[in-house]
Amino acid sequence: MSKATLDACFLSHEDDTHTILWQTTVANSDAGARTLKNKIIEFHEKLEYDKIVVGMEATGQYSMHPSLFFSNDPDLQLLNVQTIVENPRVIHRFSKVWTDEKNDKLDAQLIAEFLSTGKHSAAQPREEKFVALLRLTRTRYQLIRQLSEAQQHYVENLYYKCNTLTSDLQDENISTSIFSSTMIQLMTGNMTMADIRTMKTADLAELLQTFGRQRFKDPEKLAQVIKKSVSDSYRLGKVAQESIDINLGIQMRVIRSFEQEIKTIDKAIADIMETVDEAKSLLSIPGIGPVYAAGIIAEVGQIDRFDHESKLAKYAGLYWPKHQSGKFQKEQTPMSKSGNRYLRYYLVQAANSIRRYIPEYKDYYDKKYNEVPKAQHKRALVLTARKFVRLVFALLSNHQLYIARSGAVES
């Protein structure tokens, strides 16, 4: 499949022999898919096949329309045609056994030959509501990444304006974030660093309470820390300071825009999730809301295509390939860099949430956190996500709701 065309090979498999019935190239469009459909029906009427499989590689946007067409077409459903969407890496490994050559016509034949072995996965095209969830959750993933990048740019420019502020807030255990509305008003408003520097602490505390709608328990301490940071930071000239203020204002507007768009997507996800039966199982887990549940369900698709929780973990890239040769066993085995990054993201984010609600996962996270001196949070979190995969697989496979249980921390 490509953006413009579909290359097809009709392969008949009987008594361990392959016969190429027809090869063609059609447009990747509704009309092109109908040409292939009509040919399937024509061959079936002549030869009365016991089984017909339509297979293609998972190529993102290019495979979505054809997979939905062949799996949902009512005429093909009457023939019990099975539509398979296979991992391109599986097809690639299969093709390497037979040839190093590559072109679209040959690729179509190799896909057909691979399907005839019966070793293909049970990956079925997603239903329409799952396709909708997939588009929304993946867009949300991209927006989160862009939001994070915008926040990094904001922090960078804030450092130029007041380079000790972030560290001073942390050192004094001030819970106020630099992204709070109060700090944003203070740093991107009309007040200059010189204005804050010369302002009385009491007056600044009162201003902070006004910005924060009287929510600060100790505005005086916050005012003192801010004044200290402003006094200790480097002082920029007027031109440089103005450029930094412009950048801060732009980045904050970008951040607010991303936050608003994410809220819009979250609402759309929640609306669709009300119609998804599988959602009930994951939403029953404390700490899991519609967004995380949708991200997992959309990427997993039909859970029955995974016959074991380890297969699901591998699909998400939450596994550690073994490196062993003879008596040699590598001590450190880094996590695989392959797998579905979207599913891995939502599993990790969900694991980070449920550890705050479920003691079993909190204890497990703490145990893994304390096992190493470096990268403690990242390591503990991905291991907790790997443990979480077992729960996801069990609940979705058995169509069960979560029931809290007590027990020892798993290793």
DSSP string, 177-246: -TTSHHHHHHHHSS--HHHHHHS-HHHHHHHHHHHTTT--S-HHHHHHHHHHHHHHS----HHHHHHHHH
- The region of weakest confidence among 26-40, 164-178, 325-339 is 325-339
- Residue at 274 is within a domain: no
CA distances from 103 to 2, 21, 106, 173 (A): 12, 19, 5, 61
Q: What is the pLDDT of residue 43?
A: 93
Tell whether 287 and 187 lie within a shared domain. no
pLDDT tens for each residue of 236-264 = 999 999 999 999 999 999 999 999 999 99
Identify whether 247 is part of a domain. yes
pLDDT at 322: 60
pLDDT value at residue 326 = 47
Asked if 344 and 391 sit in the same domain, the reply is: yes
Tokens of 17: 């022999």
- Which tokens in the block code for residue 149? 């990048």
Question: What is the CATH classification number for the domain harbouring 68?
Answer: 3.30.420
CA 319 from centre of chain: 16
The predicted pLDDT at position 278 comes to: 87
Q: Is residue 329 part of a domain?
A: no
**Confidence class of residue 125 from pLDDT cuts 50, 70 and 90?**
low
**139 and 265: one domain?**
yes
261 and 283, same structural domain? no
Q: What is the pLDDT of residues 108-121, one digit of tens each?
A: 999 998 888 887 77
User: Following DSSP, what letter does each residue of 68-87 receive, concatenated?
Assistant: HHHHH-HHHHHTT-EEEEE-
Is 305 inside a domain boundary? Answer: yes
Based on the fold, state whether residues 386 and 306 are members of the same structural domain. yes
Paired with 170 in beta bridges are none
Is it the case that residue 321 has pLDDT exceeding 70?
no
Statement: residue 55 has pLDDT above 80: yes
Residue 319: which domain range? 279-324+334-398
Digit-coded pLDDT (tens) for 323-375: 444 444 444 566 666 788 999 999 999 999 999 999 999 999 999 999 999 88
Pair (140, 259) in one structural domain: yes
pLDDT of residue 214: 92
pLDDT value at 397 more than 60: yes
pLDDT at position 306, please?
87
Q: Is residue 403 part of a domain?
A: no
Residue 229 and residue 102 in one domain: no
Which of these three, 75, 92, 125, is where a domain ends?
A: 125
Q: In the chain, what percentage of residues exceed pLDDT 90?
A: 66
Q: Say how far residue 305 (Cα) sits from the centre of its chain.
A: 20
Does the pLDDT of residue 284 top 60, yes or no?
yes
Tell me the per-residue pLDDT of 80-89, one tens digit each, with 9 for 90 and over: 899 988 888 8
Domain boundary among 125, 144, 164: 125
Pairing mode, strands 17-27 and 53-57: unpaired
Q: Which two structure tokens, joined as six digits, stand for 18?
A: 């392959």
Rounded Cα distance between 249 and 304, Å, is 50
Do 144 and 231 belong together in one domain? yes
How high is the pLDDT of residue 123? 60
Four-residue CA torsion sign, 38, 40, 42, 44: negative
Q: What is the pLDDT of residue 329?
A: 44
> What average pLDDT is seen over the chain?
89
pLDDT value, residue 269? 96
Residue 411 lies in a domain: no
341 and 363 share a domain? yes
- Per-residue pLDDT tens for 185-223? 999 988 899 999 999 999 999 999 999 999 999 999 999
Given 125, 147, 165, which residue is the final one in a domain?
A: 125
Three-state DSSP class for 66?
Answer: helix
How many domains, the chain?
3
pLDDT of residue 126: 67
**Whether 113 and 158 share a structural domain:** no
The arithmetic mean of pLDDT across residues 13-39, rounded, is 91
Record the pTM. 0.77
Q: How confident is the model at residue 226 (pLDDT cuts 50, 70, 90)?
A: very high
Contacts of residue 94, Cβ cutoff 8 Å, sequence gap at least 6: 110, 113, 114
Check whether residue 120 and residue 212 sit in a common domain.
no
pLDDT, tens only, 97-109: 777 777 888 889 9
**pLDDT for the residue 100:** 72
Looking at the structure, tell me whether residues 265 and 143 fall in a common domain. yes
Instruction: Please report whether residue 290 resides in a domain.
Output: yes
Residue 411's pLDDT band, with cuts at 50, 70 and 90, is very low
Residue 292 in contact with residue 350, Cβ under 8 Å? yes
In a domain, 407, yes or no: no
Which residues fall within 8 angstroms of residue 321, CB to CB, at 6 or more apart? 333, 336
